[in-house]
Amino acid sequence: MGPLAVALAFGFLPACAGSDGGGSTGTGGAIGSGGATGAGGATGTGGTKATGGATGTGGTTATGGATGTGGTTATGGAPGTGGAKATGGATGTGGTTATGGATGTGGTTATGGTTGSGGTTATGGTTGSGGSAGVTGKGGASGGAGRGGAGAGGSGAAGSTGTGGAGGQLSCPGDSYNAASPPTTLTLSGSLGAHDPAAYVMGQTVYLAATSGVAKISQDLMSWTNWAGGNPHPEAWAPDISNFGGVFHLYYAVSSFGSNKSCISQATRNALDSGSWGTGAQVICSNMGTTDNWNAIDPNVVLDDAGVPWLDFGSFWGGIKMVKLKTDGTRADTMLYDLASGPGGGAVEGPFIFKRCGYYYLFMSFGSCCGAPYNYTIRVGRSQTVTGPYMDKDGKALMSGGGTLLVAGNSSWSAPGHNAVITYNNKTYNVYHALAAPSGQNGAATLRISEIAWDPNGWPVSGGP
Catalogue the active-site residues.
196, 349
133, 102 contact by CB (below 8 A):
yes
309, 242 contact by CB (below 8 A):
yes
Tell me the C-alpha distance between 367 and 453, whole Å. 24
Q: Is 100 exposed, middle or buried (0-12, 13-18, 19+ CB in 10 A)?
A: buried
Phi, psi of 452 (to 5 degrees): -120, 130
Does the CA dihedral 366-378-193-260 come out positive or negative? negative
DSSP character string of 156-181: PPPPPPPPPPTT-TT---SEEP-TTS
159, 128 contact by CB (below 8 A):
yes
Residues in Cβ contact with 367 at an 8 Å cutoff, skipping those fewer than 6 apart: 347, 373, 375, 376, 377, 415, 417
Tell me the C-alpha distance between 277 and 180, whole Å. 45
- What is the length of the chain? 465
Phi, psi of 76 (to 5 degrees): 75, 15
DSSP 440: T
449, 464 contact by CB (below 8 A):
no
Identify the H or E element spanning 301. strand 300-303
Tell me the C-alpha distance between 331 and 219, whole Å. 34
Tell me the C-alpha distance between 352 and 107, whole Å. 38
With residues binned 3-state (H G I as helix, E B as strand, rest as coil), the percentages for the chain, rounded to 5, are: 5, 30, 65
Tell me the C-alpha distance between 401 and 447, whole Å. 27
End-to-end CA distance of the chain: 19
Residues in Cβ contact with 4 at an 8 Å cutoff, skipping those fewer than 6 apart: 211, 212, 235, 237, 257
Any idea what the Cα angle at residue 283 is, between residues 280 and 287, rounded to 5°? Answer: 120
Tell me the C-alpha distance between 372 and 160, whole Å. 56
Cis peptide bond N-terminal to 299, omega within 30: no
